[in-house]
Every structure is written in C-alpha cells, then in structure tokens.
Amino acid sequence: MAVKEVPIWEKTTLTIEEAAEYSNIGQNRLSELLKMPRCPFVLYVGNKKLVKRREFERFIAESVEI
C-alpha cells in the first residue's frame, strides 16, 4: 500500500524542517521564533514543536523583518 504524501500547502501543521523549506527561513531562526513568549504559530505535541501553517503565513505577511 502506497503512502499518500500531503502537499505542504495543504497541511494544517508543519515540522520545523517543512516550515523552513516552505518559507525559506532557516531552521535555527524558526526555532528561535518558536521560543518567543506567546508565539502565535507554535503548537506543542508533547515535547515536539509544530508550526501552525496559517498562523505562520499570517505572521510572515504582517512582518517587515524576521
């Protein structure tokens, strides 16, 4: 049985690696952003940090500098 790959732009959450590829922002910088107090696009699943794609897109659209 083949594994169905979901395109990044259709995913609700992204790994740090996927978010870096999607946004062209480095993984280290993304990790720093996810540590911000009240980060609007971080989702904790146990110890794992995921990026909420829509909120991340909104954050990028509203930012002048990251």
pLDDT digit of tens for each residue in the chain (66 aa)? 677 888 888 999 999 999 999 999 999 999 999 999 999 999 999 999 999 999 999 999 999 988
Please state, in angstroms and as integers, the Cα–Cα distance from residue 6 to each residue in 9, 12, 17, 60, following that order: 8, 10, 15, 22
> Per the domain annotation, does 3 fall within a domain?
no
Find the CATH number of the domain harbouring 34.
3.90.105.50
Cβ-contact 41, 51 below 8 angstroms: yes
> Per the domain annotation, does 21 fall within a domain?
yes
> Per the domain annotation, does 26 fall within a domain?
yes
> Per the domain annotation, does 56 fall within a domain?
yes
> Per the domain annotation, does 1 fall within a domain?
no
pTM recorded for the entire structure: 0.87
> Per the domain annotation, does 2 fall within a domain?
no
> Per the domain annotation, does 23 fall within a domain?
yes
Range of the domain at 43: 8-62
CA distance 18 to 5: 13
What number of other Cβ atoms are within 10 A of residue 10's Cβ?
7
